[in-house]
Structure 1
Protein backbone atom coordinates (compact mmCIF):
# COMPACT_ATOMS: atom_id res chain seq x y z
CA UNK A 1 0.00 0.00 0.00
CA UNK A 2 1.28 3.43 -0.94
CA UNK A 3 0.29 6.49 1.09
CA UNK A 4 0.88 10.22 0.75
CA UNK A 5 0.04 12.25 3.86
CA UNK A 6 -1.02 15.90 3.55
CA UNK A 7 -1.32 17.52 6.98
CA UNK A 8 -3.73 20.44 7.21
CA UNK A 9 -1.01 22.99 7.95
CA UNK A 10 1.01 21.91 4.89
CA UNK A 11 -1.62 23.17 2.44
CA UNK A 12 -1.21 26.30 0.39
CA UNK A 13 -3.04 29.26 1.93
CA UNK A 14 -4.29 32.51 0.46
CA UNK A 15 -5.95 35.33 2.41
CA UNK A 16 -7.87 37.59 0.06
CA UNK A 17 -9.82 39.29 2.84
CA UNK A 18 -13.22 38.16 1.56
CA UNK A 19 -11.80 34.68 0.80
CA UNK A 20 -9.74 32.37 3.00
CA UNK A 21 -8.53 29.57 0.73
CA UNK A 22 -6.65 26.39 1.57
CA UNK A 23 -5.22 24.47 -1.41
CA UNK A 24 -4.35 20.77 -1.13
CA UNK A 25 -2.84 20.96 -4.63
CA UNK A 26 -1.17 23.66 -6.69
CA UNK A 27 -3.73 26.34 -7.55
CA UNK A 28 -3.62 30.00 -8.62
CA UNK A 29 -0.53 31.60 -7.03
CA UNK A 30 0.25 28.51 -4.92
CA UNK A 31 2.59 26.10 -6.68
CA UNK A 32 4.19 23.03 -5.16
CA UNK A 33 5.75 20.62 -7.68
CA UNK A 34 5.13 17.75 -5.25
CA UNK A 35 1.43 18.61 -4.98
CA UNK A 36 0.10 19.05 -8.50
CA UNK A 37 -2.53 16.30 -8.53
CA UNK A 38 -3.44 12.88 -7.14
CA UNK A 39 -4.28 10.74 -10.12
CA UNK A 40 -7.27 12.34 -11.86
CA UNK A 41 -7.89 14.60 -8.84
CA UNK A 42 -6.54 18.00 -9.82
CA UNK A 43 -7.91 20.47 -7.24
CA UNK A 44 -9.15 20.25 -3.66
CA UNK A 45 -9.87 23.69 -2.23
CA UNK A 46 -11.19 24.33 1.27
CA UNK A 47 -12.69 27.84 1.12
CA UNK A 48 -14.33 30.26 3.53
CA UNK A 49 -16.17 33.11 1.78
CA UNK A 50 -17.41 36.28 3.47
CA UNK A 51 -21.10 37.24 3.39
CA UNK A 52 -22.37 38.60 0.04
CA UNK A 53 -18.96 37.99 -1.58
CA UNK A 54 -17.89 35.48 -4.21
CA UNK A 55 -16.50 34.76 -7.65
CA UNK A 56 -17.77 36.82 -10.59
CA UNK A 57 -18.50 35.30 -13.97
CA UNK A 58 -15.57 33.23 -15.17
CA UNK A 59 -15.00 30.37 -17.66
CA UNK A 60 -14.13 26.69 -17.34
CA UNK A 61 -13.65 23.94 -19.88
CA UNK A 62 -12.89 20.21 -19.86
CA UNK A 63 -13.03 19.78 -16.11
CA UNK A 64 -15.46 18.03 -13.75
CA UNK A 65 -16.19 20.43 -10.87
CA UNK A 66 -17.80 19.25 -7.64
CA UNK A 67 -18.77 21.63 -4.84
CA UNK A 68 -19.75 20.52 -1.33
CA UNK A 69 -21.06 23.28 0.99
CA UNK A 70 -20.32 22.57 4.66
CA UNK A 71 -21.86 25.67 6.25
CA UNK A 72 -23.90 28.58 4.92
CA UNK A 73 -25.51 28.96 1.51
CA UNK A 74 -23.84 28.93 -1.90
CA UNK A 75 -25.62 30.54 -4.86
CA UNK A 76 -24.79 29.53 -8.43
CA UNK A 77 -25.51 31.16 -11.79
CA UNK A 78 -24.36 30.02 -15.24
CA UNK A 79 -24.88 30.51 -18.96
CA UNK A 80 -26.83 27.25 -19.21
CA UNK A 81 -29.94 28.95 -17.84
CA UNK A 82 -29.40 28.36 -14.11
CA UNK A 83 -30.19 31.59 -12.23
CA UNK A 84 -28.80 31.95 -8.68
CA UNK A 85 -29.65 28.46 -7.51
CA UNK A 86 -29.04 27.93 -3.77
CA UNK A 87 -26.86 24.99 -2.73
CA UNK A 88 -26.99 24.12 0.98
CA UNK A 89 -25.06 21.87 3.38
CA UNK A 90 -25.90 18.20 2.76
CA UNK A 91 -26.28 19.05 -0.91
CA UNK A 92 -23.64 18.42 -3.56
CA UNK A 93 -23.28 20.31 -6.83
CA UNK A 94 -21.60 19.04 -10.00
CA UNK A 95 -20.74 20.87 -13.20
CA UNK A 96 -19.26 19.24 -16.29
CA UNK A 97 -17.53 22.16 -17.98
CA UNK A 98 -16.97 20.23 -21.20
CA UNK A 99 -16.59 22.39 -24.29
CA UNK A 100 -16.96 25.54 -22.20
CA UNK A 101 -19.17 27.16 -19.57
CA UNK A 102 -19.39 30.51 -17.77
CA UNK A 103 -20.58 30.68 -14.17
CA UNK A 104 -20.64 32.75 -10.98
CA UNK A 105 -20.58 31.63 -7.34
CA UNK A 106 -21.43 33.81 -4.35
CA UNK A 107 -22.14 33.53 -0.64
CA UNK A 108 -25.93 33.86 -0.61
CA UNK A 109 -26.03 35.03 3.03
CA UNK A 110 -25.84 38.64 4.22
CA UNK A 111 -24.43 37.73 7.65
CA UNK A 112 -22.98 34.19 7.65
CA UNK A 113 -19.68 32.96 6.22
CA UNK A 114 -19.82 30.20 3.62
CA UNK A 115 -17.58 27.16 4.08
CA UNK A 116 -17.18 24.73 1.19
CA UNK A 117 -15.00 22.19 -0.56
CA UNK A 118 -14.44 22.57 -4.28
CA UNK A 119 -13.01 19.60 -6.17
CA UNK A 120 -11.79 19.45 -9.78
CA UNK A 121 -11.36 16.12 -11.53
CA UNK A 122 -9.85 15.58 -14.98
CA UNK A 123 -12.56 14.17 -17.32
CA UNK A 124 -12.22 11.05 -19.42
CA UNK A 125 -14.11 12.67 -22.29
CA UNK A 126 -13.16 15.97 -23.92
CA UNK A 127 -15.46 18.74 -25.18
CA UNK A 128 -18.71 17.19 -23.98
CA UNK A 129 -21.90 19.23 -23.73
CA UNK A 130 -21.74 21.23 -20.46
CA UNK A 131 -24.17 20.12 -17.76
CA UNK A 132 -25.18 21.06 -14.21
CA UNK A 133 -26.82 19.08 -11.43
CA UNK A 134 -27.23 19.06 -7.67
CA UNK A 135 -28.73 16.73 -5.11
CA UNK A 136 -29.47 16.54 -1.39
CA UNK A 137 -27.95 13.68 0.61
CA UNK A 138 -29.45 13.00 4.05
CA UNK A 139 -26.90 13.00 6.87
CA UNK A 140 -28.68 10.02 8.46
CA UNK A 141 -27.70 7.91 5.43
CA UNK A 142 -23.96 8.19 6.15
CA UNK A 143 -24.06 7.34 9.86
CA UNK A 144 -21.44 4.59 10.20
CA UNK A 145 -21.97 3.60 6.55
CA UNK A 146 -20.64 4.83 3.23
CA UNK A 147 -22.84 7.29 1.35
CA UNK A 148 -22.07 7.55 -2.37
CA UNK A 149 -22.33 11.10 -3.69
CA UNK A 150 -20.80 11.02 -7.18
CA UNK A 151 -20.08 8.28 -9.72
CA UNK A 152 -19.28 7.96 -13.42
CA UNK A 153 -21.97 8.88 -15.95
CA UNK A 154 -21.21 5.46 -17.47
CA UNK A 155 -22.18 3.63 -14.27
CA UNK A 156 -25.73 2.42 -13.53
CA UNK A 157 -25.43 3.35 -9.83
CA UNK A 158 -28.69 5.07 -8.84
CA UNK A 159 -28.99 7.96 -6.43
CA UNK A 160 -25.60 9.57 -7.14
CA UNK A 161 -24.64 12.58 -9.18
CA UNK A 162 -22.78 11.82 -12.41
CA UNK A 163 -19.49 13.05 -13.89
CA UNK A 164 -17.37 12.19 -16.92
CA UNK A 165 -14.73 10.15 -15.07
CA UNK A 166 -14.44 6.69 -13.53
CA UNK A 167 -14.45 8.23 -10.06
CA UNK A 168 -16.38 7.72 -6.83
CA UNK A 169 -16.92 10.45 -4.25
CA UNK A 170 -18.39 9.29 -0.95
CA UNK A 171 -18.80 10.38 2.63
CA UNK A 172 -19.16 8.75 6.04
CA UNK A 173 -19.76 9.88 9.63
CA UNK A 174 -18.18 7.42 12.07
CA UNK A 175 -18.72 7.12 15.81
CA UNK A 176 -15.78 7.07 18.20
CA UNK A 177 -13.95 3.73 18.50
CA UNK A 178 -15.32 2.43 15.21
CA UNK A 179 -13.45 0.32 12.64
CA UNK A 180 -14.28 0.70 8.96
CA UNK A 181 -12.78 -1.00 5.90
CA UNK A 182 -12.65 0.98 2.66
CA UNK A 183 -12.48 -1.15 -0.51
CA UNK A 184 -11.15 0.38 -3.72
CA UNK A 185 -12.84 -0.18 -7.06
CA UNK A 186 -9.75 -1.52 -8.82
CA UNK A 187 -5.98 -1.77 -8.64
CA UNK A 188 -5.76 1.22 -10.98
CA UNK A 189 -7.60 3.46 -8.53
CA UNK A 190 -6.40 5.48 -5.57
CA UNK A 191 -8.45 7.34 -2.98
CA UNK A 192 -7.82 10.73 -1.42
CA UNK A 193 -9.26 10.76 2.11
CA UNK A 194 -10.04 14.11 3.74
CA UNK A 195 -10.80 14.24 7.46
CA UNK A 196 -13.62 16.79 7.50
CA UNK A 197 -13.62 16.64 11.28
CA UNK A 198 -12.49 14.33 14.05
CA UNK A 199 -9.47 12.08 14.49
CA UNK A 200 -8.71 8.73 12.83
CA UNK A 201 -5.92 6.22 12.28
CA UNK A 202 -5.11 5.08 8.73
CA UNK A 203 -2.06 2.88 8.18
CA UNK A 204 -0.89 3.79 11.71
CA UNK A 205 -0.96 7.50 10.75
CA UNK A 206 -3.00 9.87 12.92
CA UNK A 207 -5.19 12.20 10.87
CA UNK A 208 -6.99 15.08 12.53
CA UNK A 209 -9.41 17.71 11.20
CA UNK A 210 -8.53 18.70 7.61
CA UNK A 211 -5.59 16.29 7.42
CA UNK A 212 -5.68 14.09 4.31
CA UNK A 213 -4.04 10.97 2.95
CA UNK A 214 -3.81 9.58 -0.57
CA UNK A 215 -3.96 5.78 -0.63
CA UNK A 216 -3.13 3.64 -3.68
CA UNK A 217 -1.70 0.27 -4.74
CA UNK A 218 -4.01 -1.68 -2.43
CA UNK A 219 -7.37 -3.44 -2.56
CA UNK A 220 -8.53 -2.04 0.77
CA UNK A 221 -7.45 -0.37 4.00
CA UNK A 222 -8.74 0.01 7.55
CA UNK A 223 -9.80 3.15 9.36
CA UNK A 224 -9.98 3.35 13.14
CA UNK A 225 -11.63 6.35 14.81
CA UNK A 226 -10.17 7.99 17.90
CA UNK A 227 -13.21 10.28 18.23
CA UNK A 228 -16.42 10.96 16.29
CA UNK A 229 -15.20 11.65 12.75
CA UNK A 230 -16.50 12.73 9.35
CA UNK A 231 -14.57 11.66 6.23
CA UNK A 232 -14.72 12.42 2.52
CA UNK A 233 -13.37 9.90 -0.02
CA UNK A 234 -12.39 10.87 -3.58
CA UNK A 235 -11.52 7.71 -5.51
CA UNK A 236 -9.98 8.29 -8.94
CA UNK A 237 -7.95 6.52 -11.64
CA UNK A 238 -4.25 6.98 -10.99
CA UNK A 239 -2.98 6.89 -14.58
CA UNK A 240 -2.83 10.71 -14.95
Structure 2
Protein backbone atom coordinates (compact mmCIF):
# COMPACT_ATOMS: atom_id res chain seq x y z
CA UNK A 1 0.00 0.00 0.00
CA UNK A 2 1.20 3.48 -0.90
CA UNK A 3 -0.05 6.51 1.00
CA UNK A 4 0.46 10.26 0.82
CA UNK A 5 -0.70 12.34 3.79
CA UNK A 6 -1.94 15.91 3.30
CA UNK A 7 -2.54 17.73 6.59
CA UNK A 8 -5.12 20.51 6.56
CA UNK A 9 -2.61 23.15 7.69
CA UNK A 10 -0.27 22.30 4.79
CA UNK A 11 -2.80 23.19 2.09
CA UNK A 12 -2.40 26.29 -0.02
CA UNK A 13 -4.38 29.22 1.38
CA UNK A 14 -5.58 32.48 -0.13
CA UNK A 15 -7.69 35.16 1.55
CA UNK A 16 -9.25 37.48 -1.02
CA UNK A 17 -11.62 39.08 1.48
CA UNK A 18 -14.77 37.82 -0.21
CA UNK A 19 -13.17 34.38 -0.73
CA UNK A 20 -11.18 32.21 1.64
CA UNK A 21 -9.75 29.32 -0.37
CA UNK A 22 -7.86 26.22 0.72
CA UNK A 23 -6.13 24.27 -2.04
CA UNK A 24 -5.25 20.58 -1.63
CA UNK A 25 -3.35 20.77 -4.94
CA UNK A 26 -1.44 23.47 -6.81
CA UNK A 27 -3.88 26.13 -7.89
CA UNK A 28 -3.74 29.83 -8.84
CA UNK A 29 -0.97 31.41 -6.71
CA UNK A 30 -0.22 28.21 -4.79
CA UNK A 31 2.33 25.84 -6.32
CA UNK A 32 3.89 22.77 -4.76
CA UNK A 33 5.58 20.33 -7.16
CA UNK A 34 4.61 17.44 -4.87
CA UNK A 35 0.95 18.51 -4.92
CA UNK A 36 0.04 18.92 -8.58
CA UNK A 37 -2.49 16.10 -8.79
CA UNK A 38 -3.42 12.68 -7.43
CA UNK A 39 -3.89 10.55 -10.53
CA UNK A 40 -6.76 12.03 -12.53
CA UNK A 41 -7.75 14.28 -9.60
CA UNK A 42 -6.42 17.74 -10.41
CA UNK A 43 -8.15 20.12 -7.97
CA UNK A 44 -9.84 19.90 -4.59
CA UNK A 45 -10.63 23.39 -3.32
CA UNK A 46 -12.32 24.05 0.02
CA UNK A 47 -13.89 27.51 -0.39
CA UNK A 48 -15.76 29.91 1.87
CA UNK A 49 -17.53 32.70 -0.05
CA UNK A 50 -18.99 35.86 1.47
CA UNK A 51 -22.70 36.74 1.09
CA UNK A 52 -23.68 38.01 -2.37
CA UNK A 53 -20.14 37.46 -3.69
CA UNK A 54 -18.74 34.88 -6.10
CA UNK A 55 -16.96 34.05 -9.32
CA UNK A 56 -17.96 36.14 -12.32
CA UNK A 57 -18.31 34.66 -15.80
CA UNK A 58 -15.19 32.71 -16.72
CA UNK A 59 -14.31 29.86 -19.12
CA UNK A 60 -13.41 26.19 -18.71
CA UNK A 61 -12.65 23.46 -21.23
CA UNK A 62 -11.80 19.76 -21.15
CA UNK A 63 -12.32 19.28 -17.42
CA UNK A 64 -14.91 17.44 -15.34
CA UNK A 65 -15.99 19.79 -12.53
CA UNK A 66 -17.86 18.62 -9.43
CA UNK A 67 -19.21 21.00 -6.79
CA UNK A 68 -20.46 19.96 -3.36
CA UNK A 69 -22.07 22.70 -1.22
CA UNK A 70 -21.62 22.10 2.51
CA UNK A 71 -23.38 25.15 3.94
CA UNK A 72 -25.40 27.99 2.41
CA UNK A 73 -26.73 28.24 -1.13
CA UNK A 74 -24.75 28.29 -4.37
CA UNK A 75 -26.22 29.83 -7.52
CA UNK A 76 -24.90 28.70 -10.90
CA UNK A 77 -25.43 30.09 -14.39
CA UNK A 78 -23.75 29.12 -17.65
CA UNK A 79 -24.03 29.73 -21.38
CA UNK A 80 -26.02 26.52 -21.77
CA UNK A 81 -28.95 28.28 -20.07
CA UNK A 82 -29.93 31.77 -18.89
CA UNK A 83 -31.41 31.00 -15.47
CA UNK A 84 -29.60 31.06 -12.12
CA UNK A 85 -29.78 27.51 -10.70
CA UNK A 86 -29.58 27.04 -6.91
CA UNK A 87 -27.47 24.21 -5.51
CA UNK A 88 -27.83 23.53 -1.78
CA UNK A 89 -26.26 21.18 0.78
CA UNK A 90 -27.34 17.62 0.05
CA UNK A 91 -27.03 18.28 -3.68
CA UNK A 92 -24.06 17.65 -5.97
CA UNK A 93 -23.41 19.48 -9.23
CA UNK A 94 -21.39 18.16 -12.19
CA UNK A 95 -20.29 19.99 -15.31
CA UNK A 96 -18.40 18.60 -18.29
CA UNK A 97 -16.59 21.60 -19.76
CA UNK A 98 -15.63 19.73 -22.94
CA UNK A 99 -15.26 21.98 -25.97
CA UNK A 100 -15.76 25.03 -23.76
CA UNK A 101 -18.24 26.58 -21.37
CA UNK A 102 -18.68 29.97 -19.72
CA UNK A 103 -20.19 30.01 -16.24
CA UNK A 104 -20.69 32.07 -13.08
CA UNK A 105 -21.03 30.89 -9.49
CA UNK A 106 -22.14 33.11 -6.63
CA UNK A 107 -23.28 32.94 -3.03
CA UNK A 108 -27.05 33.12 -3.33
CA UNK A 109 -27.56 34.42 0.23
CA UNK A 110 -27.59 38.04 1.38
CA UNK A 111 -26.42 37.12 4.88
CA UNK A 112 -24.96 33.60 5.13
CA UNK A 113 -21.50 32.48 4.10
CA UNK A 114 -21.27 29.72 1.49
CA UNK A 115 -18.98 26.73 2.10
CA UNK A 116 -18.24 24.23 -0.67
CA UNK A 117 -15.82 21.75 -2.20
CA UNK A 118 -14.93 22.14 -5.86
CA UNK A 119 -13.27 19.20 -7.58
CA UNK A 120 -11.64 19.08 -11.02
CA UNK A 121 -10.93 15.76 -12.71
CA UNK A 122 -9.08 15.23 -15.96
CA UNK A 123 -11.49 13.69 -18.52
CA UNK A 124 -10.86 10.47 -20.43
CA UNK A 125 -12.37 11.98 -23.59
CA UNK A 126 -11.44 15.35 -25.03
CA UNK A 127 -13.73 17.93 -26.63
CA UNK A 128 -17.06 16.42 -25.62
CA UNK A 129 -20.24 18.49 -25.83
CA UNK A 130 -20.56 20.55 -22.64
CA UNK A 131 -23.17 19.33 -20.19
CA UNK A 132 -24.54 20.14 -16.74
CA UNK A 133 -26.39 18.09 -14.15
CA UNK A 134 -27.20 18.08 -10.44
CA UNK A 135 -28.90 15.74 -7.99
CA UNK A 136 -30.00 15.60 -4.36
CA UNK A 137 -28.68 12.84 -2.09
CA UNK A 138 -30.24 11.85 1.24
CA UNK A 139 -27.65 12.06 4.04
CA UNK A 140 -29.34 9.17 5.89
CA UNK A 141 -28.29 6.86 3.05
CA UNK A 142 -24.59 7.30 3.90
CA UNK A 143 -24.78 6.51 7.62
CA UNK A 144 -22.07 3.88 8.17
CA UNK A 145 -22.23 2.91 4.49
CA UNK A 146 -20.94 4.32 1.22
CA UNK A 147 -23.22 6.60 -0.75
CA UNK A 148 -22.22 6.81 -4.41
CA UNK A 149 -22.49 10.33 -5.84
CA UNK A 150 -20.57 10.31 -9.14
CA UNK A 151 -19.45 7.57 -11.54
CA UNK A 152 -18.27 7.22 -15.13
CA UNK A 153 -20.52 7.58 -18.15
CA UNK A 154 -19.69 3.92 -18.79
CA UNK A 155 -20.64 2.78 -15.30
CA UNK A 156 -24.04 1.10 -14.96
CA UNK A 157 -24.58 2.37 -11.41
CA UNK A 158 -28.03 3.90 -11.20
CA UNK A 159 -28.73 7.05 -9.23
CA UNK A 160 -25.27 8.61 -9.53
CA UNK A 161 -24.26 11.64 -11.55
CA UNK A 162 -22.01 10.92 -14.52
CA UNK A 163 -18.67 12.28 -15.74
CA UNK A 164 -16.22 11.49 -18.53
CA UNK A 165 -13.67 9.60 -16.42
CA UNK A 166 -13.48 6.22 -14.68
CA UNK A 167 -14.04 7.66 -11.20
CA UNK A 168 -16.13 6.75 -8.18
CA UNK A 169 -16.94 9.62 -5.85
CA UNK A 170 -18.58 8.64 -2.57
CA UNK A 171 -19.39 9.91 0.91
CA UNK A 172 -19.76 8.10 4.22
CA UNK A 173 -20.72 9.26 7.72
CA UNK A 174 -19.26 6.97 10.36
CA UNK A 175 -20.36 6.73 13.97
CA UNK A 176 -17.63 6.77 16.62
CA UNK A 177 -15.81 3.43 16.94
CA UNK A 178 -17.16 2.17 13.61
CA UNK A 179 -14.93 0.51 11.00
CA UNK A 180 -15.40 0.45 7.24
CA UNK A 181 -13.39 -1.61 4.76
CA UNK A 182 -13.07 0.26 1.45
CA UNK A 183 -12.41 -1.88 -1.63
CA UNK A 184 -10.92 -0.27 -4.74
CA UNK A 185 -12.46 -1.07 -8.10
CA UNK A 186 -9.09 -1.69 -9.77
CA UNK A 187 -5.40 -2.05 -8.97
CA UNK A 188 -4.87 0.88 -11.33
CA UNK A 189 -6.95 3.18 -9.11
CA UNK A 190 -6.18 5.21 -6.02
CA UNK A 191 -8.48 6.91 -3.51
CA UNK A 192 -8.11 10.44 -2.16
CA UNK A 193 -9.90 10.60 1.20
CA UNK A 194 -10.90 13.98 2.62
CA UNK A 195 -11.82 13.82 6.31
CA UNK A 196 -14.51 16.50 6.30
CA UNK A 197 -15.18 16.44 10.05
CA UNK A 198 -14.34 14.22 12.98
CA UNK A 199 -11.34 11.98 13.60
CA UNK A 200 -10.46 8.79 11.74
CA UNK A 201 -7.53 6.40 11.35
CA UNK A 202 -6.40 5.12 7.94
CA UNK A 203 -3.28 2.94 7.67
CA UNK A 204 -2.11 4.18 11.11
CA UNK A 205 -2.48 7.83 10.02
CA UNK A 206 -4.72 9.96 12.20
CA UNK A 207 -6.96 12.30 10.20
CA UNK A 208 -8.64 15.29 11.80
CA UNK A 209 -10.98 17.85 10.23
CA UNK A 210 -9.92 18.62 6.64
CA UNK A 211 -6.90 16.31 6.71
CA UNK A 212 -6.63 14.09 3.63
CA UNK A 213 -4.79 10.97 2.54
CA UNK A 214 -4.19 9.42 -0.86
CA UNK A 215 -4.18 5.60 -0.91
CA UNK A 216 -3.05 3.50 -3.88
CA UNK A 217 -1.37 0.20 -4.83
CA UNK A 218 -3.75 -1.84 -2.68
CA UNK A 219 -6.99 -3.80 -3.05
CA UNK A 220 -8.56 -2.32 0.09
CA UNK A 221 -7.97 -0.32 3.25
CA UNK A 222 -9.68 0.15 6.60
CA UNK A 223 -11.20 3.33 7.99
CA UNK A 224 -11.80 3.54 11.72
CA UNK A 225 -13.70 6.45 13.27
CA UNK A 226 -12.58 7.64 16.69
CA UNK A 227 -15.34 10.26 16.65
CA UNK A 228 -18.48 10.74 14.59
CA UNK A 229 -16.92 11.55 11.21
CA UNK A 230 -17.83 12.56 7.68
CA UNK A 231 -15.61 11.58 4.75
CA UNK A 232 -15.45 12.30 1.03
CA UNK A 233 -13.70 9.62 -1.07
CA UNK A 234 -12.55 10.28 -4.64
CA UNK A 235 -11.39 7.14 -6.47
CA UNK A 236 -9.55 7.88 -9.72
CA UNK A 237 -7.25 6.18 -12.23
CA UNK A 238 -3.64 6.78 -11.24
CA UNK A 239 -2.51 6.54 -14.87
CA UNK A 240 -4.83 8.04 -17.47
Give the TM bin, normalised by the shorter chain.
Answer: over 0.9
Contact 1:76 1:82 in 2 (8 A): no
Alignment of 1:233 with 2:233, yes or no, is yes
- Cα offset, 1:83, TM superposition: 1.4
Alpha-carbon distance, 1:156 to partner: 1.1
The match for 1:70 is: 70
The TM-score, its normalising length taken from structure 2, stands at 0.99
Q: How do residues 200-211 of structure 1 correspond to structure 2 at under 5 angstroms?
A: 200-211=200-211
Rounded Cα–Cα distance in structure 1 between residues aligned with 2:31 and 2:175:
36
Residues 103-135 of structure 1 show CA distances to partners (whole Å, capped at 9, x for unaligned) of: 000000000000000000000000000000000
**Structure-1 residue corresponding to 2:34:** 34
**Aligned-partner Cα distance in 2 for 1:89–1:216:** 30
* Aligned ranges 1:12-91 → 2 under 5 Å: 12-91=12-91
Unaligned stretches of 5+ in structure 1?
none
Aligned to 1:165: 165
Unaligned segments of structure 2, at least 5 residues: none
- The aligned residue for residue 131 of structure 2 is 131
- Aligned with 2:9: secondary structure? helix
Report what 2:115 is aligned to.
115
Distance in 2 (alpha carbons) for counterparts of 1:84 and 1:199: 37
Decide whether the 8 Å contact of 1:193 with 1:231 is kept in 2: yes
Alignment of 1:189-204 (within 5 A): 189-204=189-204
Q: Offset at 1:143?
A: 0.5
1:174-218 per-residue CA deviation (whole Å, 9 max, x = no partner) reads 000001000001000000000000000000110000000000000
2:145 aligned with 1:145: yes
